[in-house]
Amino acid sequence: MISVNDFKTGATIELDGQAFQVVEFQHVKPGKGAAFVRAKLRNVKSGGVVEKTFRGGEKVPKAHLDRREMQYLYNDGESFVFMDTQNYEQINVSEAAMGDNAKWLLENMNINVLFFQENIIGIEIPNFVEMKVVDTEPGVKGDTATGATKNAFLETGAVVQVPLFINTGDRLRIDTRTGEYMERA
């Protein structure tokens, strides 16, 4: 059990048999009446966000998420296939559980797969990945001073905005949280 007064961003709790992650929280102490905690919670499985108000000091069960390191092998057209690095067992993860993270997966990449009550609820990918540009408009000499951007198609099919001097074949460092170009690798 965890007290709502001890909420931290990223903490996971269990409500109505489902796991929720604390996105935002605010302790409110009105001049009149008891204190309370207003929290935005993201359903770990569906991704939906709900707002909930708790009485100050209320205790809620902590959700125990199991993180297992796995290696991404391939996409078979219907699901993504991962191999457990401990026992070499292969599992299939549906596209729904992957969410938007699928566009940052490279074959043989190690990631954490999240389990709640032995069900796969999602994946945690690294904050930064290095990918190769497979297609973009060619850079022109002198285009580096304006700060303009263009689309670059990466080896996984993801599209990011990059400066004009980036060419096909360049390796880029991408922030997976925002989907933004960081630098050349």
Residue 70: exposure state from Cβ atoms within 10 A (0-12, 13-18, ≥19): buried
What is the C-alpha separation between 46 and 165, in angstroms, rounded? 39
Indicate yes or no: pTM above 0.75.
no
Which of 124, 141, 162 is the last residue before a domain boundary? 124
What is the C-alpha separation between 38 and 33, in angstroms, rounded? 15
What is the extent of the structural domain holding 83? 66-124
What is the C-alpha separation between 177 and 185, in angstroms, rounded? 18
CA distances from residue 61 to 18, 69, 99 in whole angstroms, order as listed? 11, 25, 26
Q: How high is the pLDDT of residue 170?
A: 92
Same domain, 79 and 109: yes
Q: How high is the pLDDT of residue 73?
A: 93
What is the C-alpha separation between 129 and 60, in angstroms, rounded? 36
Q: Which residue has the tokens 């796995």?
A: 70
Domain count, the chain: 3
CA distances from residue 38 to 7, 19, 30 in whole angstroms, order as listed? 10, 18, 12
Q: How high is the pLDDT of residue 144?
A: 61
Low-confidence stretches of the chain (pLDDT < 50) are none
CA distances from residue 43 to 11, 18, 90, 122, 170 in whole angstroms, order as listed? 12, 7, 26, 11, 38
Same domain, 51 and 91: no
Q: Report the CATH number that the domain containing residue 110 is assigned in CATH.
A: 2.40.50.140
